[in-house]
Amino acid sequence: MRARAIQWMTALAALVAASGCARHTTAAPGTRAYSDAALQRGKQIYARECAACHGPQGAGTQIAPTPLRNIAARRTFGSVRAVVLDPRPPMPKLYPSRLTRGQVDDVSAYVENL
């Protein structure tokens, strides 16, 4: 009986530890929660691949005048991701030549949280 109680306590401790890891996420109201690591990767990708046209904070420019800031109020994550995967010209198609699917997810998450 005692051995079974120790097994249950060990399993419970593992569950609590695992759930604590999931709390390290960032989300604005109305957006999905993403890990801080995914958002950091997305920020780096955005700076390298997107900021020149969309602006460093996603406010828009003459090249890409539609602001990306607060896009979560206008679009779902899936629709943002779809645009990154298969954009209309003049936006460059970065997947799969320059971005992996995981990188598309990361930059889409970052854009959703601008």
Cis peptide before 96 (omega within 30 of 0): yes
Average pLDDT, the chain: 81
CA distance to 14, 60, 70, per residue, from 30 (Å): 30, 22, 10
pLDDT over 90 percentage in the chain: 71
Per-residue pLDDT, averaged over 22-51, amounts to 78
Classify domain 27-112 by CATH number.
Answer: 1.10.760.10
Q: Where are the domains of the chain?
A: 27-112
Taking CB atoms within 8 Å and a gap of at least 24, the contacts of 36-40 are 38/105, 38/106, 38/109, 38/110, 39/106, 39/109, 39/110, 39/113
pLDDT, one tens digit per residue, over 57-85 is: 999 999 999 999 999 999 999 999 999 99
* pTM (whole model) above 0.75: no
Q: How confident is the model at residue 35 (pLDDT cuts 50, 70, 90)?
A: very high
